[in-house]
Each structure stands twice: as C-alpha cells, then as structure tokens.
C-alpha cells in the first residue's frame, strides 16, 4: 500500500475498508487537476472490479464491485492511468444563484468575519466575484462542490457539526464553498441562503448540475 505525504510527488492511495479506495494526487486544487480527475474517473469506471468512480475535490474515490484480491495491482494500474491522464474538458452551463447573505439563514458569517478579519461587505464581495466551476457532486443528493473560491475567505470547518441546516444554505468549509440541496447536518459555516431545486429523483440524471457546470452567486440582500 502506498501511503506517502502530500509533499511527495506521488499520489496517495488509501483504503476505505474493503468497500473502496481513495486516490489523492499531490498539487493544487485547481481546474487542471480536476479535469485530470474527471478523465481518470471516466477511464477507470470501465475496469471490471470497479462499481463506481466518484470524483471529489482533486481526488477520486473508487467503489469496488467485488473487492480485488490483488489490491497492489489495482493501485499500480491506477498510478499508470494517472500518469497518462489528459485533461477532460466538460462543456458546462452557467447558472446564476441569488443569495441572501447573513441574518437568520447565514448564522455563521460572524465566524467567517472573526476568522478572516474582513467585514461582511468584503466577504460578500469576495464570495460573489468568481465564476465557480462544479468540480464534483457529493455530501447529499444534488450538492455541488465548487472550485475557485478566493482563499482570503477560507474558514476552518466547525468543531462540532450543526445538525439541522436547511436546504439552500450557502456555506464555506476550509478553502471550499457550496450550496446545500436539502435540509440536514453540516460541519461547514453557513453564510447565506438561496432558493433553487438541485435534485429530482424522477429526472435522469437526477441532479440539476454536473461537473463542469458553472455557478455565479449574486448578492440579493445582505443582512447584518
């Protein structure tokens, strides 16, 4: 089993029990890396021992169909595939999301203010500035992990996860930002709220957004 530090040049591969494995290449969390992750996901999905390849934020989880007896071979094949991986270009749509920042539905913006030392206006300005790319879906049905957040507003995840967060919560967790698609628990800092239906199990595919789509947040209101 390869288990090296991020500082090393080689990717880290770790087991998730006998259910799957996690592949974490070194380097920045940027669109170039993410496009190689998308390429790798599409490539390894065809392997007979793989049930599903699930992109994360510059990493990839593989779920085994049946757990391979020779795990070392799978790890080597994966490294070989990564070394030959190109960038998969996904042509996405652009979606505008109106957000109410702060107030009742942005209860943790004070923690972001405290951590960053920025004012609420500055935080909103920095958060609405970029065109975010959907890097991956995860967390709960229809939830999108977005790439491209300005590191100036990065805020650590909460010490204790919050249990009953409503759907449409716009939040910051570490160097990432995202929007929850339905009510549930979260360890991220909620800074605002949007109305949008991100998931419908009757639809195919069931999620509104896919990797490669883009989101722009637009400040509808700021509540201090």
Partner 1 sequence: MIEILSATALASVQDLGRDGYLRYGVGTSGAMDRVALAAGNILLGNPENSAAIEIPMFPFQVRFLEDIAFALTGADANAELDGQPIPPWWTIQARKGQELRLSPPTHGARCYLALAGGIDVPVMLGSRSTQLRGEFGGYCGRTLKRGDVISAIASAERAEAYTALPAAGFGIEPPEFTLPLGDLESTAHATRTFVRVLPAAEYDCYEDASLESFWSQDWKITSQSDRYGYRLAGEALVTKTTLEQRSHGIVPGVIQVPHSGQPIIQLRDAQPSGGYPKIGTVIEADLWRLGQARPGTQLRFVQTTYEEALSALDEVHDYLNKIRRLTELYLLSKR
Q: CA-CA distance, 83 to 203, in Å (whole number)?
A: 36
Q: State the Cα torsion 153-156-57-62 to the nearest 10°.
A: -170
Indicate the residue among 86 and 206 with the shorter CB distance to partner 1.
206
Report whether 110 contacts 211 (CB < 8 A).
no
One-letter-per-residue 3-state SS of 132-189:
EEEEEECCCCCCEEEECCCHHHCECCCCCCEEEECCCEEEEEECEEEECCCCEEECCE
DSSP 7: T
Is 11 a binding residue for partner 1 by CB under 8 A? The answer is no
- Kindly indicate which of the ranges 8-16, 82-90, 113-121, 213-221 contains the residues binding partner 1, using the contact rule CB under 8 A: 8-16
Q: Annotate each residue in 116-155 with x if it binds partner 1 (CB under 8 A) or - if it does not, as one string.
A: --------------------xxxxxxxx-x----------
Is 166 a binding residue for partner 1 by CB under 8 A? The answer is no
Sites for partner 1 among residues 185-214 (CB under 8 A): 185, 187, 199, 201, 205-207
Residues binding partner 1 (CB under 8 A):
1, 3, 12, 14-20, 22, 24, 29, 41, 51-61, 63, 67, 69, 71, 136-143, 145, 156-157, 159-161, 173-176, 181-185, 187, 199, 201, 205-207
């Amino acid at each position: 089993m390869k288990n090296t530090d991020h500082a090393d040049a080689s990717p880290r591969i770790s087991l998730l029990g006998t259910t799957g494995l996690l592949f974490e290449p070194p380097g920045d969390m940027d669109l170039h890396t993410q496009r190689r992750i998308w390429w790798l996901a599409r490539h390894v999905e065809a392997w007979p021992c793989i049930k599903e390849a699930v992109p994360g934020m510059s990493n990839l989880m593989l779920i085994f169909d049946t757990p391979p007896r020779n795990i070392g071979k799978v790890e080597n094949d994966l490294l070989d595939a990564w070394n030959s991986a190109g960038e998969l270009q996904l042509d996405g749509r652009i979606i505008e999301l109106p957000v109410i920042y702060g107030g009742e539905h942005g209860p943790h913006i004070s923690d972001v203010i405290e951590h960053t030392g920025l004012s609420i206006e500055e935080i909103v300005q920095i958060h609405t500035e970029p065109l975010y790319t959907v890097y991956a879906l995860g967390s709960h049905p229809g939830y999108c992990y977005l790439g491209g957040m300005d590191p100036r507003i990065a805020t650590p995840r909460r010490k204790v996860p919050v249990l009953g967060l409503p759907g449409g919560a716009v939040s910051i967790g570490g160097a990432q930002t995202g929007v929850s698609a339905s009510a549930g628990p979260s360890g991220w800092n909620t800074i605002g709220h949007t109305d949008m239906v991100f998931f419908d199990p009757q639809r195919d595919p069931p999620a509104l957004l896919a990797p490669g789509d883009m989101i722009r947040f637009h400040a509808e209101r700021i509540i201090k």
